[in-house]
Amino acid sequence: MLKNRIFDELRSAGRRPAGTTIHDEHAAPDPSPLELALGRETLDRYEAALQQLRPQDREPVVARFELDFSVAEIAAAFGKPSVAAAQNGGQPRVLKLAEVMGQRLTKQNSSRSPPPVC
């Protein structure tokens, strides 16, 4: 029985792609489309919030929003058994990211002095 389980794992591993690491060694010096769309302040909040996620939660988020991976590509790249599993796993990550970004926005707004009254 153990032997069958080992063979099943070996076959299963052969069907899944190996994990990949995303390198940013050839980054362009000009703003990315993401930076242009979001603006620098929002991007700073996004990047700070990303750092609060665990690496295994952060990488699929980066793949989806920065590298424009489809959910099927994320499922394949990160060894998810199905597209549905990748979708279901992604929702809590994105909610956590949005929650942290919202907390940072609230802190930023409360630390600013109100605009002068004319």
pLDDT digits (tens, 9 = 90+) for 3-14: 666 666 766 666
Q: How many structural domains compose the chain?
A: 1
**Does residue 2 lie in a domain region?**
no
By the 8 A CB rule, do 71 and 83 touch? yes
Alpha carbon distance 41, 75 (integer Å): 31
- In this model, does residue 19 exceed pLDDT 70? no
CA 29 to chain centre: 22
**Does residue 71 lie in a domain region?**
yes
Where in the sequence is the domain holding 95, given as residue range(s)? 33-111
Q: What is the pLDDT of residue 18?
A: 61
CA atoms 96, 54, 45, 62: torsion sign: negative
Domain of residue 95, CATH code? 1.10.10
Give per-residue pLDDT as tens, 33-50: 777 777 878 888 888 889
Quick one: what percent of the chain has pLDDT higher than 90?
Answer: 3
pTM of the model: 0.54
Going by C-alpha positions, the residue among 36, 39, 56 that lies closest to residue 96 is: 56
